[in-house]
Amino acid sequence: MKNILVTGAGAPLGRAMLRHLRNLAGVEHIVGVEPTTSSDWVDGAELIASPRDQRAFVDLLAEYPIDTVIHCGLAPDRGGRVATPSEARVIDTMRLGAALASPDVSVRAWVIASSSGVYPVDSHAPLLQREDSALDTSEGTPAASIREAEEYARDVASRRPHLNVTLLRLQHVVGPGVRSPMTELLDQPVLPRVVGYDSPLQLLALDDAVRALSFAAELELAGVYNVASTGTVRMSEAIRTLGRTALPVLPFEAGGALGDLARRFGVPHVPGGMLPVLRFGHALDTSKLAAAGFSPEHDQAGCLALLS
């Protein structure tokens, strides 16, 4: 792990990744790419716009040459239930994958920040999702986009046996600058408490996410791993821990324009896509990554502290 390319470098996860790598011994060059950006130096790393085609990607990877790619650009600042990753980001993943298969490239490790949103959030799901649990099979949803990107990465892995491909399924990320339906839910001054439900939720501190990605890259772990900070937390506990007042609400969520309105007027609401999470819970079994030697530094209370 000497010359590292980080995608999604304009978003909180990618930025935190750049900062983390800068302090790592043995790292020589760090390049950050972002779909739309002007070239810049950020936190000691070079930040450039994503190459426009596969050839340019190959040239970029061959230049230093890059040996490790940490792909934070798929679902850049989330994990968990994500909004549909933009077309540009999914296509970037595919372009990058195609470039990695080129013989001119000497990348050894491709670590992808995927999302726990690939698992179904429903009454029939198990308490803790394992890497081999059934995935959400819906079509045309955010889960489907992430699933396709994962399938594509596995494809690249099978075509390039010397390339180590790691998929890290990140749980709902919280930390400085991160904005997602989960942070929108928990960042309200008065928290909504859906009456009749109180299921386990799970968060991932931004630094734990970054450390896990770096850990996977360094050890060249191959395969799929769940990532979450220690433990689970119920909404009732989160309300107590955050020390905020709660408003009982009926099981409805406010997505789209309604969500915007609720946000503007500060009405306690459940952001779009979060109702199933509150009704049925959403938690990962992280024992596989733990067995590989990784332990998160934060527990769920620590994650909540990042919000307040």
Partner 1 sequence: MSDDNLLPDRWGRSTGPGNAAFRALYERWFRVEWEGIEHVPRHGGALLVSNHAGLMPVDGGVIPLGIENETGRPVYSLAHHGFFRFPFVGKMLAATGGVVGHPDNAHRLLTEDKSLVLVFPEGAKGPVKPPRERYKLQRFGRGGFVETALRAGVPIVPIALMGTEDTTPTLATFRIAGQDVPLTLNTLLLGPLLGPLVQFPAKIRARVLPPVHLGEASGQDHYPRSLMMDTAEDIRGQLQTALNRMLHKRESVVAG
Task: Give the binding site for partner 1 (CB under 8 A).
Answer: 122-128, 130, 133, 194-200, 232, 234, 251, 279-280
Least distance in Å: CB of 198 to partner 1? 6
Least distance in Å: CB of 240 to partner 1? 10
E-strand stretches of the chain:
3-7, 29-34, 40-42, 45-49, 68-71, 109-115, 164-170, 172-174, 190-194, 200-201, 203-205, 223-227, 233-234, 245-249
Q: Between residues 194 and 212, which has the closer beta carbon with respect to partner 1? A: 194
Q: Between residues 86 and 137, which has the closer beta carbon with respect to partner 1? A: 137
Exposed/middle/buried for residue 89 (C-beta within 10 Å: 0-12, 13-18, 19+): buried
Q: Between residues 130 and 244, which has the closer beta carbon with respect to partner 1? A: 130
Q: Between residues 86 and 236, which has the closer beta carbon with respect to partner 1? A: 236
Least distance in Å: CB of 236 to partner 1? 9
Looking from the CA of 226 toward its CB, the CA atoms found within 13 Å total: 27
Beta bridge partners of 5: 31, 69
Q: Between residues 67 and 136, which has the closer beta carbon with respect to partner 1? A: 136
Q: Could you give phi then psi for residue 23, rounded to 5 degrees? A: -90, 5
Cβ(82)–Cβ(180) below 8 Å:
yes
Least distance in Å: CB of 174 to partner 1? 21
Least distance in Å: CB of 126 to partner 1? 4
Order of strands across the sheet with 29-34?
40-42, 45-49, 29-34, 3-7, 68-71, 109-115, 164-170, 223-227
3-state secondary structure of 87: helix
Least distance in Å: CB of 202 to partner 1? 11
Beta bridge partners of 284: 129
Distance CA 154, CA 290 (A): 22
Q: Between residues 126 and 176, which has the closer beta carbon with respect to partner 1? A: 126
Q: Which of 135, 50, 41 is nearest to 99 (CA)?
A: 50
| Alpha helix segments (H runs only) across 254-299 | 256-264, 275-280, 287-291
Distance CA 16, CA 41 (A): 14
Least distance in Å: CB of 196 to partner 1? 2
Q: Between residues 19 and 234, which has the closer beta carbon with respect to partner 1? A: 234
